[in-house]
Amino acid sequence: MADLKKIAATYLEARKVYMVEVRKHVQENIAPMNKDDFWYHLERLAEEISRKSASGVHGIKPAIHNFLIDFHYMKDGWDQAAAFLAAYKEISKALYDKCFQMSGVAKGDDSYDDWTDALPLSGFVVVRGILEDELETYKHVSLAIQRMCPKLEDRIQEGENHIRMSLEEALIERFAHMGRFD
């Protein structure tokens, strides 16, 4: 049993170092995906989340896993997926900053972060509307989400989805598994 505990401790330390290095690599070497490609892939992610939700799968992780599989078959697929994540983080941060001053937002710190993390799933029209001050209040945003993406409305408005974190974790795991097949 002592050997197993030592192996477990070694594994956990190696995993920690690995995760730090992958995050560092992404931050230093991967630029956000261009906007046209980002919105195309984001629509695919939103569809996958909607499909999983409709089939009774409530976790976001199975949808993200299925979404990332397509990147595996692309040229430089892992880098493309990392570029998608970088763009997602960039847009959700812009939404976080923009919505902070928005009238009618009555959410605590944690639920506000969850909301702005999921807002990109509402799509280009809603996100552009927020960032360009066309949707000036929480009520306007809510109505736009209801109109543009009714299947994801509850998930965006009330869910603890942790999209950024789930994408990052899945991406790190996929990279580890891809390395076995090179």
Q: CB neighbours of 132 closer than 8 A, spacing ≥ 6? A: none
Residues 5 and 50 in one domain: no
pLDDT above 60 for 154? yes
**Within this chain, do residues 13 and 48 fall inside the same structural domain, yes or no?**
no
Residue 69, pLDDT score? 87
**Which pLDDT score, from 0 to 100, does residue 132 have?**
96
Helix (H, G, I), strand (E, B) or coil at 103: strand
Q: Please state, in angstroms and rounded to a whole number, the distance separating the CA atoms of residues 156 and 148.
A: 12
Least confident range from 77-91, 106-120, 129-143: namely: 106-120
**Mapping DSSP to helix (H, G, I), strand (E, B) and coil, where does residue 137 land?**
strand
179 has a pLDDT exceeding 70: no
pLDDT at 181: 44
**Distance between CA atoms of residues 149 and 127, nearest Å:** 12
Query: Residue 143 half-sphere exposure, CB side, CA atoms within 13 Å?
Result: 9
The span from the CA of 60 to the CA of 147, in Å, is: 22
Residues 20 and 49 in one domain: no
Same domain, 15 and 91: no
- 37 and 16, same structural domain? no
pLDDT score at 117: 94
Asked whether residue 89 falls in the same domain as residue 156, the answer is: yes
Are 11 and 39 in the same domain?
no
pLDDT digits (tens, 9 = 90+) for 12-50: 999 889 888 888 887 888 899 999 999 999 999 999 999
Residue whose pair of structure tokens reads 């997602």 in the numeric block: 88
43 shares its domain with 26: no
Q: What percent of the chain has pLDDT over 70?
A: 93
Whole-number pLDDT of residue 108: 72
Q: For the chain, what is the radius of gyration of the CA atoms?
A: 18
My answer on whether 38 and 23 are in the same domain is no
Nearest CA among 54, 8, 100, 169 for reference residue 177: 169
Quick: pLDDT tens for 89-127.
Answer: 999 999 999 998 888 887 776 788 899 999 999 999 999
Q: Which of 137, 170, 141 is nearest to 156 (CA)?
A: 141
Q: Both 68 and 18 in a single domain?
A: no
Q: Are residues 44 and 116 in the same domain?
A: yes
- Which is higher by pLDDT, 109 or 157? 157
DSSP-assigned letter for residue 74: S
Residue range(s) defining the domain that contains residue 45: 32-181
| Structural domains of the chain, count | 2
Domain identity same for 81 and 13: no
Residues 6+ apart with CB under 8 A from 176: 18
Q: Which residue has the tokens 């965006």?
A: 156
